[in-house]
Amino acid sequence: MTEYLLLLMSTAVVNNVILVKFLGLCPFLGVSKKIDAAIGMGLATTFVLTLASVATWMLDHWLLVPLDLGYLRIVGFIVVIAAAVQFVEMAIKKSSPQLYQVLGIYLPLITTNCAVLGVALLNVQNGADFLHATLYGFGSATGFTLVLILFAGIRERLALAAVPKAFAGAPISLITAGLLSLAFMGFSGLNLT
Amino acid sequence: MLAVATLPAWLQRSLIRWGVHPDDHKRPVADLPVERLPLPARLFLPLQQHVGAPARPVVKIGDPVLKGQLLAESAANISAPVHASTSGRIVDITTYPAPHPSGLEQPVMVLEPDGEDRWIDTSPPTDPFSLPPAEIGRIVSAAGVVGMGGATFPSAVKLALGLRVQVEILIVNGGECEPYLSCDDRLMRDDAEGVVDGIRLALHAIGAQEARVGIENNKPEAIAAMQQAAAPFPEVRIMPVPAQYPMGSDKQLIQVLTGREVPFDGRAADAGVLVHNVGTCHAIHQAVRLGRPLVERLVTVSGGAVERPRNLVAPIGATAQDLFDYCGGLASAPARVIMGGPMMGNPLATTASPVIKGTSGLLALTQEEVGEDDRAGPCIRCASCVSACPMNLLPLEMAAHIRSDDPDGAFHLGLNDCIGCGCCSYVCPSAIPLSHYFSYAKGALAANERSKLKSESIKKLTAARLERQEREAREKAEAAARRKAEREAAKARAAAQANAVTTKAATVDANA
Amino acid sequence: MLAAVTSLTVLGAALGLGLGIAARRFHVEPEEIVAELEALLPGSQCGQCGFPGCAGAAQALADGKAPVTLCPPGGKSVAQALAEKLGVSADLSALGESVPMFATVREELCIGCTKCFKACPTDAIHGAVKQIHAVLKEACTGCAKCVDSCPTEAVGLVPVPATLTTWTWHKPGHA
Amino acid sequence: MSTLPHPNHAPHAHSGVKVSRIMATVMLALTPATLFGFTLFGWPSILLWLVTVGACLVLEVACLRLAGRGGPKTLWDGSALLAGWLLAMTLPPFAPWWIGVLGAVATIVVAKHAYGGLGQNPFNPAMVGRVALLISFPLPMTTWVQPAPLFAAGSPSLIDSLHIIFSGTAVPDALTSATLLGHVKTEATRGVDALHAVMSLGADGSGLGWHAGSLGETGSLLVLAGGLFLLARRIITWHIPTSLLAGLALPAAIGHAVAPELYLSAGAHLTAGAAMLGAFFIATDLVTSPATSAGRLIFGFGCGLLTWVIRTFAGFPEGLAFAVLLMNAGVPLIDRYTRPRIYGHGQPAKAG
């Protein structure tokens, strides 16, 4: 039990997918202008990432490894992830038009969210078992959501601040992301045992 | 919720978590006897001195009038009549600078006093308490009484509402929390009996059981006088409240005296209370007992730039300049001239503007009193404004949205709940004009609303025009069709005749 | 080789089939966005935006061919409403502080030709043949169609004057 | 009759409180602890303080000029001076001059003026400076010295000090020491438990400050006094200091009660490191803390808790700077979800 909790903590905070592994930067900068959109994006990503971790684990262990097709891993993963995202998009469009309006064009962005593929590949690299893979996906996604929402909060405030012209927009967002990353370095070496 | 005013005095202060403590600057003016302004050469009586529709004139240029005579009648459900402030002659009906920061002109009647100050015949009822409540309201309405605290809402409309919705408590606002102002203080000290009588008449008019008079505890003389005057009447409770700006705001006084809150989308009556200012109660007393309409009022003339500050009884329509002149003129060039108090009062564009029914004070403030005219600095998010705001708003966030051209964002944060008390601007260490931002945004949103309404009505007009054009086209087409049909018919007839002829001929032929 | 081709084919086919079924099941009618946009526009069909009437403008907006600030008579409020509907951020600075205007007829120049009368999309100009025309302030959108139609240049646009009820405080720092 | 000047909106009165006065009061409250630190660590600490504060002021002027807002008023609001001062309070007293200058760059240029200057920055400038230094230059940032009072035998003279600060002469080995938190951390990696680690350092009433540390660390009691002064002057409210200290002391007390060999006591946590400085002067920074009372309680508690977590479990001996930055990042969210109930509304105003 403790082990799984630690795994969650470690993937969410210490080895944060955005701030430490630098994955998923496009949605991090793209969908962080409004807190509401960030929350929606975070939830959708959490769902997809967990789902993708599970699906790719199954694909890897039940198809690619037995057939010795490791070289097809990236292609196979991309296909599975793209299909999962498409499915989620359709389901959301039907079940929650409001959420769909909020996420809008960003849902397809999850397809190309390198965090999703990255986490799936890291799972293989780590040789994780099924439960570990699922938790790793979920923990990474939680960390992604946490940082995305924090960042969106700051950006909403920055939108009202008198940022100098030279820094306004993307530059100040990147500086902020850097400072956020600096703050998260406080967790480095976190050892709960 | 708890009614703070019912608790011991030492507890009250610590339970009120909003507001500010400006220097009150009330004395020595509050302790000086009231003087009467001599009649000026001309009086300028605006047709609109109240919330609602402007009054409609009933006299003509050149008409002689008596003091208290009706000059303009109430023109709508929410409106109030205007009476002559003295006897004399109407010399003009024109436009004149309004007591308003814009300095725009508004319609006025110009009255030239004859110096006799002769009252019109009055016939007050002998026992007003035997009259039906609605009748009191009618007298008050005819006397042109409006909220004298500055809100200038027609008082009779409020009384009628109170009677209709079964208000339980009448709140009487003797807070007078604005610095400098002491006209209500003076009124309570000098004619507490009149005020209490007005309160009892108002109670009768709305059918409420209890009146609570909130008076800030920096006016001990007024509290004592009112307590003495109210002693025979248990239904009138005098309740001292902490001196804390904006205690004299309706919503805050209701909260402190009753523990109730006025719902954001409702009126005081929805909380079972009705609020009248002490000045208004006094005006009700004058109207009902003496039959005198509202033609004069107490005005505090004060501020560092005034030579001899004092409280004056001034006729409605006297100009600000008349009052300053009587008080020895302005000693130095004032930094600001204000109608009302320094926290919420409006700056005047010109001292030619007249005193109206809602004028509680005329202040000429020096730069020293106003504080440095600093350019606003950046917000340091100290949240002083948050703790000062009596409505629990986040002024700093609202202003940030407005500054970034997002008044809607401020609206979602509660811009419409802002009562404009100015506490936020008063405490801001960066001198950010927060209240100004909010007035601007409220104006911008109102203008938006107006343009939306206009575009809707225009849409209707356009639709009507299209329909008209279609109808015209249709009618034209129908007419054309009719004509064509007629032509066809005629042709057919002609053809038929010809046919008949031919048929006949054929028959003939056949027969032949 | 065969295993790789087969497995990817099967995988693709299975997922494609799944998505196809899902697309059927979760089908949603495309929104009637054009109609909604048209409802937000003033509907005076004045043509100042350069599109054929408000319906054309709505179509152009929906296609992303026109900015939300396209409607001069609508001003800021319409631009904001459109931006909200379309989910884009409006650059309202492009509109500037355009003051509301209305048309006036200079009586000494008016010949009573009724051309403006016919051009007005909101019936805001009243009068009759050979009579001086008057403008109803409440109905005028300031679209300037009448200005162009007048043969004697008797019609002009003037800013709507502030009154005590419409006067508002200026924005702080922008006196 | 006279026409009056352009109308100004109400109110036509002001409380007289100004930003520059707030900053000056905070600096006054910081003075006793600073002077104590100066006497404790002598000339090097004074020189480093001067360099850091001076660099901050120079950079502030430069940035304001660049931004075209170079008026004297914006400089003398004192915010740059205070940020530099706070940064200097958290540096090792014998650190070389470039530490102070680079810290000032991170503080003033990156954390403050890139965002538009005073009031616009989401992160506490002094803590950005400190964290950037700590991560970039771990060695000089963790080389602490024993107290070497001014004019005491064995203390560096002014000349020695100039060498230490400006020409990179190594600090005499005899003087180097470790802070309590740093010592416990290094001992733990060697398998020595917290109780023995504390004893081996010979902690003798560390609250009195006679031990290694930064200026702000050694003068904890004086910092506390300064903080109470600020509370009395109503510059800060009680919410953040109280909740921060509670957030730090509660888990520490529980941990210590469960396993004293693993966890330091609450008392040690409160007096060690930058706890007091953080609680009263850093976390309470007006610009980067929440605006509502409830938000301030959450913010303070979070700072305290994260400080304890980082001190106890993570790689750095002192975590307050990280904790403050982490909570700074959450301030917009905290503000958004702790909006007070508006008068007359059943519920807080809907999110905007």
Whether the Cβ atoms of residue A53 and residue A80 lie closer than 8 Å to each other:
no
Query: Chain B within 8 Å of D278 (Cβ-Cβ)?
Result: no
Q: Identify the band that residue C31 occupies on the pLDDT scale cut at 50, 70 and 90.
A: low
Find which of B91-100, B473-482, C117-126, D76-85 is predicted with most confidence, using mean pLDDT: B91-100
Is D205 a residue whose pLDDT tops 60?
no
According to the model, what pLDDT value does residue B176 have?
92
Nearest to A183 among D120, D326, D351 (CB): D326
D343 contacts B264? CB cut-off 8 A: yes
CB contact under 8 A, A93 and C26: yes
Identify the CA nearest to C80 among candidates B461, B459, B411. Answer: B411
SS3 B432: coil
Spatial neighbors of B271 by CB under 8 A, at least 6 apart, are B254, B258, B260, B261, B262, B263
d(CA B375, CA A49): 52
The ipTM of this complex is 0.85
Query: Minimum mean pLDDT among A19-33, B396-410, D3-17, D286-300: which range?
Result: D3-17
Residue C95 has pLDDT above 60, yes or no: no
Please indicate whether, in this complex, the C-beta atoms of B451 and C100 are within 8 angstroms of each other: yes
Q: Does D331 touch chain A (CB under 8 A)?
A: yes
Backbone angles phi, psi at D156, to 5 degrees: -65, 140
D106, pLDDT greater than 60: yes
Q: What is residue B29's DSSP assignment?
A: G
Pick from A155-159, B153-157, C21-25, D291-295: least confident: C21-25
- Pinpoint the alpha helices (H) of B220-374: 220-230, 250-258, 278-289, 320-326, 367-370
Closest by Cα among D181, D295, D62, D246 to B397: D295
For an interface test with B, give the residue of C123, C168, C170, C174 to mutate (most B CBs within 10 A).
C168
H or E stretch covering B108: strand B105-113
* Interface contact B352, partner D, CB < 8 A: yes
Q: What is the DSSP string of B130-178?
A: GS-HHHHHHHHHHTT-B-TTTT--BHHHHHHHHHHTT--EEEEEE---S
Residue A193, in any domain of the structure: no
What is the full DSSP assignment across D118-143? TTT-SS-HHHHHHHHHHHH-HHHHT-
Determine the residue among C1, C9, C15 to mutate to test chain A binding: the one whose Cβ has the most chain A Cβ atoms within 10 Å. C15
What residue of C is the nearest CA neighbor of D7? Answer: C169
The CATH code belonging to domain C101-159 is: 3.30.70.20
- C74 contacts in chain B (CB < 8 Å): 455
- Are the C-beta atoms of B364 and B339 separated by less than 8 Å? no
Give A162's contacts in chain B (Cβ within 8 Å).
Answer: 378
- Residue D321, helix vs strand vs coil: helix
Q: Report the distance separating Cα D321 and Cα D132, nearest Å.
A: 10
Q: Read out DSSP for B54-107?
A: PPEE-S-TT-EE-BT-EEEE--SSSB--EE-SSSEEEEEEEEEE-SSTT--EEE
pLDDT of D103 reads 96
Q: What are the CA-CA distances from residue B443 to residues B50, B71, B446, D106, D262 (Å)?
A: 19, 32, 5, 43, 63
**CA B384 to centroid of chain Cα atoms:** 30
pLDDT bracket for residue D42 (50, 70, 90): confident
- Chain C residues in contact with D9 (beta carbon < 8 A): 169, 172
Q: Is A170 on the interface with D (CB under 8 A)?
A: no
Q: How confident is the model at residue D349 (pLDDT cuts 50, 70, 90)?
A: very low
Q: Does C19 touch chain A (CB under 8 A)?
A: yes
Mean pLDDT of C37-53: 75
Worst-scoring range by mean pLDDT, A172-176, C136-140, D96-100, D249-253? C136-140
Cis, peptide link before residue B246, omega less than 30° from 0: yes
> Is the residue at A188 inside a domain?
no
Q: Do the Cβ atoms of B378 and A162 come within 8 Å?
A: yes
**DSSP label of D177:** E
pLDDT score of C125? 81
Least confident of A108-117, B269-278, D281-290: A108-117
The verdict on a CB contact (< 8 Å) between B412 and D351 is: yes
Closest CA to B159 of B142, B176, B175: B142
Output the pLDDT for position B493. 82
The full length of chain A comes to 193
Domain contains D326 = yes
Compute how many other C-beta atoms are within 10 angstroms of the C-beta atom of residue A98.
Answer: 9
Domain membership flag for residue A94: yes
The C-alpha atoms of residue D19 and residue D235 are separated, in whole angstroms, by 11
Helix (H) or strand (E) holding B189: helix B183-190
* Cα angle C88-C90-C93, degrees, rounded to a multiple of 5: 165
Mean pLDDT calculated for residue range C31-41: 77
User: Residue B16: which of B268, B242, B263 has the closest Cα?
Assistant: B242
- 146-175 in C: which are within 8 Å (CB) of D? 169, 172, 175
Per the listing, tokens 């630690």 go with A6
Whether residue A79 and residue C28 make contact (CB cut-off 8 A), yes or no, is no
Model confidence at D157: pLDDT above 50: yes
CA-CA distance, D275 to D248, in Å (whole number)? 8
Contact yes or no for A17/A49 (Cβ under 8 A): no
Q: How confident is the model at residue C154 (pLDDT cuts 50, 70, 90)?
A: confident
D186 pLDDT band, cuts 50/70/90, is confident
What value does the mean pLDDT take over residues C24-36?
Answer: 73
Instruction: Please tell me the distance from the alpha carbon of residue B420 to that of residue B436, in angstroms, as a whole number.
Output: 9
In a domain, D350, yes or no: no
From residue D30, how far is each of D37, D208, D232, D270 by CA, in Å?
11, 17, 14, 18
Phi, psi of D155 (to 5 degrees): -80, 150
Q: What is the reported pLDDT for D352? A: 37
Q: What are phi and psi of D279, to 5 degrees?
A: -65, -40
**D6 vs C contacts (CB less than 8 Å):** 175
Chains contacting B (3+ CB pairs below 8 angstroms): A, C, D
Q: Note the pLDDT tens digit of each residue in A90-99.
A: 887 777 777 6
* Architecture per CATH, C33-94: Orthogonal Bundle (1.10)
Name the residue with tokens 């479990």.
D313
pLDDT > 80? residue D301: yes
Burial class (CB in 10 A: 0-12, 13-18, 19+), B38: exposed
Rounded to the nearest integer, the mean pLDDT of chain D is 85
Instruction: Write down the pLDDT at residue C82.
Output: 81
Residues of A in contact with B401 (CB under 8 A): 160
Kindly list the residues from chain C whose CB atom is less than 8 angstroms away from the CB atom of residue B459.
Answer: 42-44
Q: Which residue has the higher pLDDT, D4 or C47?
A: C47
Measure the CA dihedral B212/B214/B217/B222, to 10°. -80
Q: In this structure, which amino acid lies at residue D9? A: H
Look at residue D65 in the predicted model and tell me its pLDDT: 86
CB within 8 Å: D315 and A188: yes
Smallest CA-to-CA distance from D277 within D96, D55, D29 is with D29
Half-sphere exposure of B273 (CA within 13 A, CB side): 27
Six token digits for residue D187? 């001992």
Position C8 scores a pLDDT of 85
Along chain B (512 residues), what's the average pLDDT of each consecutive run of 10 residues?
Answer: 79 86 91 95 94 92 94 92 95 93 92 93 89 93 92 91 90 94 95 96 93 94 96 94 92 93 90 94 95 95 93 96 93 88 92 94 92 79 94 95 89 94 94 93 88 78 80 87 85 77 56 48
3-state SS, one letter per residue, for C56-115 = HHHHHHHCCCCCHHHCCCCHHHHHHHHHHHHCCCCCHHHCCCCCCEEEEECCCCCCCCCH
Name the β-bridge partners of B311: B300
Q: What is the mean pLDDT of residues A53-70?
A: 88
Of B104, B443, B458, the CB nearest to C42: B458
Whether B98 contacts B106, CB under 8 Å: yes
The residue range of the domain holding D163 is 19-334
**Residue D174: pLDDT above 70?**
no
Confidence of residue A180 (pLDDT cuts 50, 70, 90): very high
Which residues of chain B have a CB within 8 Å of the CB of A160? 400-401, 403-404
Q: Residue C30 has what pLDDT?
A: 60
